[in-house]
Structure 1
Amino acid sequence: MRCDDSSPFNVIPPAVVALSVLIAGLEVMFQLAAAGILGGQDGVGWRIAALTDYAVRDDVWEWMLANRNFRPDELLRFVAYPLLHGGFVHAAFVVVFLLALGKLVAEAFSSAAFLAIFWISALVGALAFVTILDSRPALVGGYPGVYGLIGAFSFIQWVGLRGTGGSQFRAFQLIAILLAIQLLFATLYGQYGDIVADLGGFVTGFLLSFLLSPGGWHRFLVKIRRR
């Protein structure tokens, strides 16, 4: 009888594990700092300082537009904010979604496609956040990128249902349920900025899948040449 001591992480693509560990590691660091274990008295303010420097803020975007000064340190917010979260529960849910959806997307497409979908969706979601609504709370956390992965997952289901003749609307059941829950809470608290960012991420992830899915770029080039 042989004992199987293989790690469960062996079945998850390394890129998915790396991104999840990075997000979880930062959150653990902030938790330890808040408890006074790291950084001493200064550690208590680490999370606040990080959110101040890297969260996506509508007022910062408006300042850049008004002054036509797109400083690199301010633009960095749009790619750094998915790594930072408001608390343990916030980060934990993002990591869970990343491990589950990231595994599916990376295996169906590729690890590079997984990373591209996550970060481009987060970027587009952040741009939607600052351009569509005037939101006072800052945007932080990996949900827009996760919603991009939900878009890719919906694309995978959409293609599968198309091949089997099933109703393709079923591919969008997950996003419909999640957005309905978010809309309920947004209505209660009067904050719709996160919904705009997440929906922007979902649409981006779904559309990117047409190019990043296996053979997608080739099909795109064929259509362009036919025109």
Structure 2
Amino acid sequence: MQDRQQDSSHGAHHDSPFNALPPVVIVLVLAILGVEVVFLLAKSGFIGQTQGGDDWRISAIQKFAFSGEIFRWMAETGRWPLDQAQRLVTYLFVHGSFTHAVMVCVFILALGKMVGETFSQLAVVVVFFGAGLVGAVAYGTLLDTQYPLLGGYTGAYGLIGAYTFILWVGFGQNGGNQLQAFRLIAFLLGIQLLFGLIFGANNDWVAELAGFATGFLLSGILRPGGWAELVNRMRQR
């Protein structure tokens, strides 16, 4: 009886939801929430000389958010100073509010787990940052706006693209309608359109859609055997 209780206790310990998550997903979420913790501590006066969490957030946005104007200047001049080029990825970890950051983390936890378990942990990293990079370039190239791009939604949409690829392949193998794999992205874009009509348009969807496409396309290479298949096709040509 005692042995069974010990086995049950041992099993319960290993059933922790954190044990089921790929470590890289936990790291991404902790990095995002860590920034928010710093803002909260600053706002409470635990760090810094005065209570200024909002000032710290504004300062972080000014320094680390992606700027289309700065990107176009760098592209036109061919000059890529590190303190400005870093914005192509650092914007993923700076959010407009704590709620904004939490919502991004929810997407990363749910979709990162699926991608990490189906492909690999490296795939999660490549998709998240690859989508973030391409999304920022699309935002800076296609739009002429002074509003900065910030938050990890673009990278999260890359994970949505990878998840869509997984569903797309699954439906194909089972003889199903592969268009059903795109229901999630269609739903999310529909929600964004509705909120845009009610509260005003937000051009972040350009970066997010580019991030989604990047995640979907990268999955063809990152899936098991995908790189070898690509190399064989290039050799055949």
Query: What interval of TM-score do these two structures reach, taking the shorter chain for normalisation?
Result: over 0.9
2:120 corresponds in structure 1 to: 110
Distance 1:55 1:219, change over 3 A: same
Contact 1:147 1:205 in 2 (8 A): yes
Contact 1:58 1:135 in 2 (8 A): yes
Deviation at 1:68, TM superposition (A): 3.3
**1:137 is aligned with what amino acid?**
Y
Give the whole-Å Cα distance in 2 for the aligned partners of 1:92 and 1:40.
27
Match of 1:41 among 50, 54, 75: 50
**Greater Cα offset, 166-175 or 68-77:** 68-77
Whether 1:144 and 2:154 are equivalent positions in the alignment is yes
Match of 1:8 among 12, 17, 24: 17
Deviation at 1:34, TM superposition (A): 1.9
Whether 1:161 and 2:161 are equivalent positions in the alignment is no
1:173 corresponds in structure 2 to: 183
Deviation at 1:226, TM superposition (A): 1.6
Give the whole-Å Cα distance in 2 for the aligned partners of 1:191 and 1:137.
12
Give the root-mean-square deviation of aligned CA atoms: 1.5
Whether 1:94 and 2:104 are equivalent positions in the alignment is yes
| Cα shift readout 1:97-140 (whole Å, capped 9, x = no counterpart) | 11110000011000011100000000000001010011222100
| SS across alignment from 2:13 | coil
Deviation at 1:191, TM superposition (A): 3.5
Match of 1:75 among 68, 85, 93: 85
Note the residue ranges of structure 1 that are not aligned, 5 or more in a row: none
- Give the number of the structure whose alpha-carbon radius of gyration is greater: 2
Deviation at 1:42, TM superposition (A): 6.5
**2:175 is aligned with what amino acid?**
G
Deviation at 1:190, TM superposition (A): 4.5
| Cα shift readout 1:143-191 (whole Å, capped 9, x = no counterpart) | 0100000000000000000000000000000000001111222344544
Give the whole-Å Cα distance in 2 for the aligned partners of 1:56 and 1:191.
19
| Cα shift readout 1:5-60 (whole Å, capped 9, x = no counterpart) | 33321111111111111111111211221232322317432211111111011221
Give the whole-Å Cα distance in 2 for the aligned partners of 1:197 and 1:76.
17
Whether 1:30 and 2:39 are equivalent positions in the alignment is yes
| SS across alignment from 1:37 | coil
Note the residue ranges of structure 2 that are not aligned, 5 or more in a row: none
| Aligned residue pairs, count | 227
1:125 corresponds in structure 2 to: 135
**1:47 is aligned with what amino acid?**
R
Deviation at 1:71, TM superposition (A): 1.3
Give the whole-Å Cα distance in 2 for the aligned partners of 1:202 and 1:212.
15
Whether 1:50 and 2:60 are equivalent positions in the alignment is yes
| SS across alignment from 1:40 | coil
Give the whole-Å Cα distance in 2 for the aligned partners of 1:186 and 1:216.
38
Whether 1:200 and 2:210 are equivalent positions in the alignment is yes
Give the whole-Å Cα distance in 1 for the aligned partners of 2:110 and 2:36.
19
Contact 2:43 2:51 in 1 (8 A): no
TM-score (norm 1): 0.95
Contact 1:135 1:191 in 2 (8 A): no
**1:23 is aligned with what amino acid?**
I
Give the whole-Å Cα distance in 2 for the aligned partners of 1:182 and 1:136.
21
